[in-house]
A and B are shown apart, each in its own frame.
Chain A
């Protein structure tokens, strides 16, 4: 968002948006390291912090904290240890509380016209093992990983390619990295700020020993287990910055995973070289250790209710709220309700690429989709399942987004059975003798809606929709399958209609790519073949032959070339409007509440927040490194 600002008001930007602890007032040492420092194994904090650490400004209601304590959380599978990277949320650039992108690890970033990004590192910034974090790490990534034929057989990550063009990567000096393209790359910053981010650097000093170029002997020693693998496989195995399962890999996150997999309990300890400090001079994080225990997903609400987690939002749902409230007094925690920010928690996806020609015509008739949407009693769904706390309406951006307009949410989404009947009559789907409407070729209008079968919630909503639709003469047949099978059936055009969540990023701002709204991916269940066409550049799939879909494609392309914020906003609005009018995806409810369990002694967790994957990184933007424990157990 601040790209224009950055380009025009660079000095001011540097000064106010990124406060530096320029004057080193007294720095406080975390007690955890006292012994090591005395033994000379670790330098004192003044030497561990970069020359200009990031001074964290606390949010409203947060207070400066104390050191100490251990934070226990529950995860559903061992690969969720990557949550340490998500919650830790140390990024080159990251989202702040208002979802603006600001520099974090970087001291500053200058984005000229979104084509040329000049990134400045903090001098003296070190990896978690004490080695310097320099442009060498960026160079290693670009030259020796992204462009190495064996490590990246498909070339550099697609996020770095603009129309297939690779960036020009330069290192003007020891502290500066520059990425430039000939056309704008508007996704670059948001991808680097993402929950599962684009990493354009690696710990070169560590990985070099696994790289053939620097160590001719790399890969000759076998990885354990007798499986002989090439050096590239071993390098990739070691290079797991996101998966976070290699304790030996240096990191920049606030907590370092010290447990080697396989394990059912991962312990992460404070990173002595973390680059953020608070206003009192304490190097963050406050909390010494984070412990992630693996438990069966279904049991996590029970365990949380029994007090086994200090901070839990993952794997608990709204319908656990009552149970969680029950255990609050005995187990010393409180249950907050945050909001989710998906465009829709539950949405129906009519498959516009379905194989059956009659059905295709019917589903492509906008009147039919509008009618189906009008007939859904969303308020009943809201009352029954969400206690009226959710938001009823279309699959569109949420109210907190700057692009939100009420009509996007309510157009064709208010309950009106009469209008629905009229539309279906107009579309030529007359009722038969048994009261059920018929397709033009005489078959009953029976829609088989397939779900991934993973949540009873979806089946419940479908139950309610089934009755709603029965009143307008449409038969709904719910069919739970499995995620994989569902996708394959949708992709191949066999499935008629499917159920999934809505827009992933309901908090969109004009500077975020609107590609979710255009047919750009096969994963979009309403037009998989259009999406495939785009992904494969025309080699597979079908070209969008619905005029509005084609328009969305055009708008999406225009967005990438748009120069000003206003232009981008205009494009977004047009796209949102098309969606509201066309009902390509029929949303039901959104902004479902997410319970967050917080131990009473854990401070600085906001009472109200938004629990979203990207942007948001779940807890990430609320900076868990600023959470602290008021009475840490020794």
Chain B
């Protein structure tokens, strides 16, 4: 167990390094850089005053340096004239768009993102679990088809349209606000119960939209695994011994089929973040998705890069944790060195 853990930990480091390199390359892939876009924009608007500062900034932030050097500076393995200051030192860099340190820009959005994504995950589990269990135990019945269909509705509808339509409908019928993750007055205020309530009020539309697209997959997986378990000998034995069916279901097979839920923790994060990014853009939520998209569009490289690295780090850690959990739960995995699917 210990060697397994250590091995996984050691492998994480080069993984992250490679991810950082690939991320940075991809961000820098489109031609030009942040300033070149800005300069062109400003020139077309005739805003000559800011123009004259932009060249200034280019030298300041080393955007005229070669790619490798920019990358190394960002990671923190190459010094600038002001010393080492990069990811390894905990400095996330400077956001050109907002003219502020990245950590300031990301700020509150991280927390709101976390709340949103966490709620979505909870929702997905809460919906998928009973449906999947029912579908497995009543295979090929109308209930099976009907409920699975319901689960698929969310998957099959493009999120962005669903979000817009649901939001409009909720506004017209229930008077709910259009978009936003909370009422505007609470945006910069500290957390109070009222603020929390406002967030809850605004949260249910995005949670439904994002959550329903994830439930289908979860339902299917649970159903398949449960079906597999239900064929096994021990279930037959227990039934023969007269165990009540519901208790039988819960005590043994269901626990065994929880395997994918745990292994999915690692996967869930990237997919939920992607899914929530689009919905967040449509609904104008103040989470990290829209900020990331804007940063990618305008090539605000440190903001985009650092944030993506953060996400990748979370994912890698998440996968590591889920693998650890699985290994602890299931000795077969430890010994064969991989996750059985």
Contact = CB atoms under 8 A, between A and B. Distances in A.
Q: Is there any pair of Cβ atoms, one from A and one from B, under 8 angstroms apart in the complex? A: yes
Contacts of A225: 91, 94, 100-104
Contacts of B281: 296
Interface stretch (A96-104, A256-264, A381-389): A256-264
Determine the main DSSP class of B at the interface with A.
helix
Contact of B37 (A261, A296, A303, A484): A484
B178 A306 contact: yes
13 contacts: A152-B52, A196-B47, A225-B104, A227-B82, A236-B53, A259-B188, A298-B282, A299-B179, A299-B282, A302-B179, A306-B171, A308-B178, A484-B40
A226 B99 contact: no
B239 interface: no
A265 B188 contact: yes
A291 B41 CA distance: 27
Contacts of B55: 153-154
Contact of A227 (B94, B105, B188, B286): B94
B43 interface: yes
A299 B52 contact: no
Nearest to B297: A482
A147 interface: no
B85 interface: yes
Contacts of A217: none
B52 A154 contact: yes
A158 B48 contact: yes
Given A159-B48, A306-B177, A487-B44, 6 more contacts: A153-B56, A154-B52, A227-B85, A264-B286, A291-B184, A299-B284
**Among B45, B55, B104, B184: residue with most chain A CB under 10 A:** B184
Contact of B178 (A152, A229, A303): A303
B152 interface: no
8 nearest A-B residue pairs (beta carbon) = A225-B101, A296-B284, A228-B82, A265-B187, A295-B284, A306-B178, A293-B184, A303-B178
Contacts of A380: none
B304 interface: no
A319 interface: no
B107 interface: yes
**Among A158, A196, A225, A236: residue with most chain B CB under 10 A:** A225
B49 A265 contact: no
Interface of B: 32, 36-37, 40-41, 43-50, 52-53, 55-57, 60, 82-83, 85, 91, 94, 98-105, 107, 167-168, 171, 177-180, 184-185, 187-188, 281-284, 286, 290
A229 to B, nearest CB: 7
Contacts of A291: 184
A612 to B, nearest CB: 14
A523 B100 contact: no
Contacts of B60: 229-230, 233
A352 B61 CA distance: 38
A570 B144 CA distance: 82
A159 B50 CA distance: 13
Contacts of B53: 236
A: interface residue count bin: 35 or more
Nearest to A242: B49
Interface string A285-299: 000000101011011
Interface in A461-480: none
B187 A264 contact: yes
A303 B94 contact: no
A299 B180 CA distance: 10
Contacts of B32: 484
B94 A295 contact: no
**Among A233, A306, A483, A488: residue with most chain B CB under 10 A:** A306
Given A265-B187, A293-B184, A306-B178, A523 B98 contact: no
Contacts of A164: none
A634 to B, nearest CB: 15
Contacts of A205: none
A158 B49 CA distance: 8
A224 interface: yes
A120 B229 CA distance: 89
Contacts of A237: 99
Nearest to A291: B184
Determine the main DSSP class of A at the interface with B.
loop
Contacts of B40: 484, 487-488
Contact of B168 (A154, A229, A261, A302): A302
B104 A263 contact: no
Nearest to A240: B99
A78 interface: yes
A262 B178 contact: no
A428 interface: no
Interface in A124-164: 152-154, 157-159
B177 A299 contact: no
A127 to B, nearest CB: 20
A153 B52 CA distance: 8
Contacts of B94: 225, 227
B178 A299 contact: yes
A236 B53 CA distance: 8
A299 B178 CA distance: 8
A157 B184 CA distance: 39
A225 B45 CA distance: 31
A196 B55 CA distance: 20
B59 to A, nearest CB: 10
B85 A296 contact: no
A279 B102 CA distance: 49
**Among A159, A227, A487, A488: residue with most chain B CB under 10 A:** A227
A261 B100 contact: yes
B48 A157 contact: yes
B28 to A, nearest CB: 15
**Among A199, A261, A299, A522: residue with most chain B CB under 10 A:** A299
A617 B56 CA distance: 28
Nearest to B48: A158
Given A265-B184, A306-B178, A299 B82 contact: no
A329 to B, nearest CB: 13
**Among B57, B101, B179, B283: residue with most chain A CB under 10 A:** B179
A78 B100 CA distance: 13
B98 A261 contact: yes
Contacts of A299: 178-179, 282-284
A227 B55 CA distance: 18
B56 A236 contact: yes
Nearest to A298: B282
B290 to A, nearest CB: 7
B169 to A, nearest CB: 12
A226 B101 contact: yes
A238 B281 CA distance: 31
Nearest to B187: A265
Interface in A9-25: none
A487 B105 CA distance: 30
Nearest to A302: B178
Contacts of A261: 98, 100
A193 B224 CA distance: 71
Contact of A226 (B85, B177, B180, B185): B85
Nearest to B85: A226
A307 to B, nearest CB: 9
Contacts of B85: 226-227
A166 to B, nearest CB: 15
A288 to B, nearest CB: 16
Nearest to A239: B53
Contacts of A154: 52, 55
